[in-house]
Amino acid sequence: MTRVKKGTNALKTRRNILRKVKGYRFGRSTKEKQAQEAIFHAGAYAFAHRRDKKNDFRKLWNVRISAKSKELGISYSKLIGGMKKKNILIDRKILALLANENPETFKRILAKIA
């Protein structure tokens, strides 16, 4: 059997790994083994936090809606409850956008509820 030297392949994988961890601190950006671990952890965190991001945005929308509705004299829970009773099907993302950028439209929605 002929001898196979894997120098070029090893160099290529090492180069690719170190390219991915550019900007990381300490040995994670220069040492191959630490860099590989850093990549694995980064991937795991990215996967988990893609789900967390959805929760974070929903919380943000709730806070924005609550702040604007309190400004106009109604609590967040009364607003959402009233919308469900009146069968107004606007999700929180759009409602937060309206509260922030189109206050007149938001006031009209509040007027329908009250």
Q: What one-character-per-residue DSSP string does 60-108 give?
A: HHHHHHHHHHHHTT--HHHHHHHHHHTT----HHHHHHHHHH-HHHHHH
The verdict on residue 77 lying in a domain is: yes
The verdict on residue 11 lying in a domain is: yes
Question: In this predicted structure, what is the pLDDT of residue 54?
Answer: 96
Question: In this predicted structure, what is the pLDDT of residue 105?
Answer: 95
The verdict on residue 1 lying in a domain is: no
The verdict on residue 14 lying in a domain is: yes
90-102 per-position pLDDT tens digit: 999 999 999 999 9
The verdict on residue 2 lying in a domain is: no
Higher-pLDDT residue of 79, 2: 79
1 pLDDT band, cuts 50/70/90, is: confident
Model confidence, pTM: 0.72
The verdict on residue 66 lying in a domain is: yes
The CATH number that applies at residue 99 is: 1.10.1900.20
Segment 26-37 shows an average pLDDT of 96
The verdict on residue 71 lying in a domain is: yes
Residue written as token pair 């795991």: 44
The pLDDT of residue 114 is above 90: no
**Domains contained in the chain, number:** 1
Question: In this predicted structure, what is the pLDDT of residue 69?
Answer: 96
Domain of 103 in residue numbering reads as 7-113
Kindly state the tokens that stand for 100: 């922030």
